[in-house]
Chains A and B, each alone.
Chain A
Amino acid sequence: MAYSTELRNHQNEQHNFRVRLTIAALIALVTFSALGLRFYYLQVNRYDYYHTLAESNRISIVPISPNRGLILDRNGVVLAHNFFVYTLEVTPSKISNLDTTIADLGQMVEISAIDLKRFKKLKAESHSFESVPIRTHLNEIEAAKFAVNRYRFPGVELKSRLYRHYPQGELGTHAVGYISRINERDLAQLKEDNVISNYKGTDHIGKGGVEQAYERELHGTTGFQQVEINADGKAVRVLSSAAPTSGNNIVLSIDAKLQAIAEKAFGERRGSLVAIQPKTGEVLGFVSMPTFNPNLFVDGIDYDNWNLLNNSLDKPLINRALKGIYPPGSTFKPFVALAGLENGKREPPYSIQDAGYYTLPNSRHRYRDWKPSGHGTVDMRKAITISCDTFFYGLAMELGIERLTDFVRHFGFGQKTEIDIRGEVTGLLPTPEWKKRRFKQPWYMGETVIVGIGQGYTLTTPMQLAYATATLANQGTAIRPHIVNAVVNSKTHVVTPIPHTVLDKIDLKMQNLEIVKAGMVDVTLPGGTAASVGANAGYSIAAKTGTAQVIGIKQNEKYNEKSINERHRDHALFIAYAPADDPKIALAVIVENGGHGGSAAGPIARKVMDYFLLGKEPPEDAPKAELPLPTTALGEASTVVNAEEEHYD
Chain B
Amino acid sequence: MISKFLSALFKHIDSVLLACVLFAMLVGLLVLYSASGQEFSRVSAQMINMSVALVAMWVVANIPPQQIERIAIPAYIVGVLLLIAVALFGDISHGARRWLNIGITKIQPSELLKLASPIMLAWYFSKRESNLTAIDFFIAALILAVPVLLIMKQPDLGTAMLVTASGFYVIFFAGLSWRFILGGIALVGALSPVFWSLLHDYQRRRIEILIDPTQDPLGSGYHIIQSTIAIGSGGMTGKGWLNGTQTQLDFLPERTTDFIFAVFGEEFGMIGNMLLLLLFAIIIARGFVIAAQAKSTFSRLLAGSISMTFFTYCFVNMGMVSGILPVVGVPLPLISYGGTSMLTLGLGFGLLMSIQTHKRLVATG
Contacts and interface: CB of A to CB of B under 8 A. Distances in A.
Interface of A: 6, 9-10, 13-14, 16-18, 20-21, 24-25, 28-29, 31-32, 34-36, 38-40, 42-44, 46-47, 49-51, 53-55, 57-58, 228-232, 236
Nearest to B251: A231
Contact of A43 (B270, B280, B311): B270
A54 B263 CA distance: 13
Contacts of A232: 250
Contacts of A29: 281
B229 A36 contact: no
A31 B315 contact: yes
Nearest to A42: B232
Interface string B79-96: 000000000000000000
Contacts of A24: 169, 172-173, 288, 304, 307-308
A102 to B, nearest CB: 27
A228 B246 CA distance: 11
Contact of B273 (A16, A34, A39, A54): A39
B284 interface: yes
Interface stretch (B101-109, B317-325, B339-347): B317-325
Contact of B251 (A42, A51, A58): A58
A28 B270 contact: no
B285 interface: yes
9 contacts: A18-B292, A24-B308, A32-B281, A39-B270, A42-B231, A50-B231, A53-B233, A54-B245, A236-B249
Contact of B274 (A20, A36, A229): A36
Contacts of B245: 54-55, 57-58, 228
A34 B316 CA distance: 12
Nearest to B234: A43
Contact of B130 (A6, A25, A39, A53): A6
Given A50-B232, A54-B246, A20 B322 contact: no
Nearest to A46: B232
Contact of A28 (B129, B273, B311, B324): B311
Given A24-B169, A228-B249, A229-B249, 18 more contacts: A17-B175, A28-B308, A31-B311, A32-B280, A35-B319, A35-B324, A38-B323, A39-B231, A39-B270, A44-B235, A50-B229, A51-B235, A53-B229, A53-B232, A54-B246, A55-B233, A57-B229, A57-B246
Main secondary structure of the interface of B (DSSP, over half): helix
B265 A54 contact: no
A29 B311 CA distance: 10
Nearest to B324: A38
Nearest to A52: B233
Interface of chain A, main secondary structure: helix
A364 B265 CA distance: 104
A29 B273 CA distance: 15
B139 to A, nearest CB: 19
B188 to A, nearest CB: 16
Interface string B213-253: 00000000000001011111111100000000110011100
Contacts of A13: 129-130, 175, 297
Contact of A35 (B129, B230, B277, B285): B277
Interface string B311-354: 10011001100111000000000000000000000000000000
A44 B145 CA distance: 43
B118 interface: no
B300 interface: yes
A50 to B, nearest CB: 3
B231 A43 contact: yes
A421 to B, nearest CB: 47
A24 B314 CA distance: 15
A57 B244 CA distance: 12
B263 to A, nearest CB: 13
Residue among A9, A25, A229 having the largest count of chain B Cβ atoms under 10 Å:
A25
B274 A39 contact: yes
Contacts of B60: none
B147 interface: no
A24 B284 CA distance: 10
A17 B249 contact: no
Contacts of B31: none
B64 interface: no
Interface of B: 129-130, 169, 172-173, 175, 226, 228-236, 245-246, 249-251, 265, 269-270, 273-274, 277, 280-281, 284-285, 288, 291-292, 297, 300-301, 304, 307-308, 311, 314-315, 318-319, 322-324
Given A58-B249, A230-B249, A230-B250, A43 B232 contact: yes
Contacts of B318: 35
A228 B249 CA distance: 8
B249 A231 contact: yes
A43 B270 CA distance: 6
Contacts of A16: 175
Nearest to A43: B270
A20 B173 contact: yes
Given A39-B274, A42-B232, A231-B251, A20 B319 contact: no
A32 B315 contact: yes
A282 B347 CA distance: 94
Contacts of B236: 43-44, 47
A229 to B, nearest CB: 7
Nearest to B310: A28
Contacts of B130: 6, 9-10, 13
A39 B265 contact: yes
B75 to A, nearest CB: 24
Residue of B129, B226, B236, B270 ringed by the most chain A CB atoms within 10 A: B270
Contacts of B231: 39, 42-43, 50
B280 to A, nearest CB: 8
Nearest to B307: A24
B364 to A, nearest CB: 17
A20 to B, nearest CB: 5
B317 to A, nearest CB: 10
A47 to B, nearest CB: 5
Given A17-B173, A31-B315, A44 B270 contact: yes
A267 B183 CA distance: 100
B105 to A, nearest CB: 32
Contacts of B249: 57-58, 228-231, 236
B273 A43 contact: yes
A20 B308 CA distance: 12
A25 B288 CA distance: 8
B233 to A, nearest CB: 4
B277 A51 contact: no
Residue with the highest number of chain A CB atoms closer than 10 Å, among B233, B235, B245, B324? B233
A17 B304 contact: yes
Contacts of B232: 42-43, 46-47, 49-51, 53-54
Contacts of B322: 35, 38-39, 42
Nearest to B245: A58
Contacts of B281: 28-29, 32
Contacts of B297: 13
A17 B229 contact: no
A16 B176 CA distance: 10
Contacts of B292: 17-18, 21
A35 B280 CA distance: 12
Among A14, A28, A42, chain B packs the most CB atoms within 10 A around the CB of: A42
A37 to B, nearest CB: 10
A59 to B, nearest CB: 9
A28 B278 CA distance: 12
A49 B229 CA distance: 9
B229 to A, nearest CB: 5
A36 B265 contact: no
Contact of B277 (A10, A36, A42, A53): A36
Nearest to A229: B249
Contacts of B175: 13, 16-17, 20
A228 B243 CA distance: 13
A-B CB proximity, top 9 nearest: A50-B232, A54-B233, A231-B250, A42-B232, A43-B270, A230-B249, A9-B130, A50-B233, A58-B245
